[in-house]
């Protein structure tokens, strides 16, 4: 065999061995690359699924954020409108406050004027009260003096009437006794042609109204009339008057009136006389 051929055979054998080694290496690398490819493919699919989920989540979050943003825009719009309303109300309140301050100043001015007027009126009232009090005291003193004078006059009038009636009774009694020379019997009645008529109280009582009534044994036959005033006396003492209310033929009833502050006790047997002339 030719040496070249041997060399070529040896080279072929070496190349075959090298090729076999390369084939084994290639096969091994191809298997490893395939496994890596599968791993990478699975990772890519996992990453793709993760990305898709992330995109979906991002879309949902975006939609939520857009909704919240719309709500915030609406709230902002409402807040701006409310701010405008509050601003207008604030301006109105400021205007009202200014008007109220002006009114308060005006009212305070009026209050000051009224206080001054009230003070003046109070001083006038105090002055008037003092004058009225002085006048009332003066009037009261005058009234008391008038009452005292009236009481004194009434007492004097009563005393005068008592004295006059007593004197008249005495004179008439003396006049009636002079022609006959004796007295008038108790419980009888006498009538002169031109003089007074004498009678006796036969009963004394009090009516429902509290008036003291007296019944006498004189009537229309003795020229006694309703409204006539009879003089009541006991002995020579004048007691009062009897104002006739009711008259019968021989009986008359009337109210006993005691003048002034006298307190005589009129009773049965007291004498009466008319004032007929």
Q: Does domain 184-273 have CATH number 2.40.128?
A: no
Which H or E element spans position 243? strand 237-247
Tell which residue, 124, 270, 265, has the closest CA to residue 198. Answer: 270
Among 118-122, 192-196, 246-250, 263-267, where is mean pLDDT lowest? 192-196
pLDDT tens for each residue of 154-187:
667 656 766 666 676 677 667 666 554 444 444 4
pLDDT tens for each residue of 10-53:
888 888 888 787 778 778 887 888 888 888 888 888 888 888 88
**Domain ranges in the chain?**
184-273
Query: What is the average per-residue pLDDT within 42-71?
Result: 88
Residue 262's pLDDT band, with cuts at 50, 70 and 90, is low
The burial of 250, by beta-carbon neighbours within 10 Å (0-12 exposed, 13-18 middle, 19 or more buried), is given as middle
Helices (H), the chain: 3-180
The per-residue pLDDT for 162 is: 64
Tell which residue, 246, 244, 264, 159, has the closest CA to residue 197. Answer: 244
pLDDT tens for each residue of 102-116:
988 889 988 988 888
The per-residue pLDDT for 219 is: 92
With H, G, I as helix, E, B as strand and everything else as coil, classify residue 129: helix
Among 76-85, 179-188, 216-225, 236-245, where is mean pLDDT lowest? 179-188
With H, G, I as helix, E, B as strand and everything else as coil, classify residue 90: helix
């Amino acid at each position: 065999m030719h040496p070249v051929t041997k060399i070529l055979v040896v080279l072929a054998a070496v190349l075959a061995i090298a090729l076999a080694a390369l084939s084994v290496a290639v096969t091994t690398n191809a298997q490893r690359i395939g496994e890596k490819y599968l791993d990478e493919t699975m990772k890519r699919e996992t990453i793709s699924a993760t990305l898709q989920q992330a995109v979906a989540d991002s879309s949902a979050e975006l939609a939520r954020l857009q909704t919240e943003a719309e709500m915030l825009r609406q709230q902002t719009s409402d807040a701006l409108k409310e701010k405008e309303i509050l601003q207008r109300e604030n301006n109105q309140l400021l205007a009202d406050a200014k008007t109220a301050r002006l009114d308060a100043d005006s009212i305070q001015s009026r209050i000051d004027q009224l206080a001054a007027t009230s003070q003046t009126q109070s001083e006038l009232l105090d002055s008037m009260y003092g004058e009225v009090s002085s006048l009332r005291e003066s009037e009261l003193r005058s009234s008391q003096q008038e009452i005292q004078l009236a009481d004194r006059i009434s007492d004097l009038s009563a005393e005068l009437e008592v004295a006059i009636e007593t004197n008249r009774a005495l004179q008439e009694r003396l006049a009636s006794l002079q022609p006959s020379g004796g007295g008038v019997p108790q419980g009888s009645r006498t009538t002169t042609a031109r003089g007074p008529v004498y009678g006796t109280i036969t009963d004394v009582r009090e009516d429902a109204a509290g008036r003291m009534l007296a019944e006498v044994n004189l009537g229309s036959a003795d020229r006694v009339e309703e409204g006539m005033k009879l003089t009541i006396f006991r002995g020579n003492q004048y007691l009062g008057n009897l104002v006739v209310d009711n008259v019968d033929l021989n009986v008359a009833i009337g109210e006993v009136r005691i003048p002034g502050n006298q307190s005589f006790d009129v009773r049965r047997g007291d004498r009466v006389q008319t004032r007929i002339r």
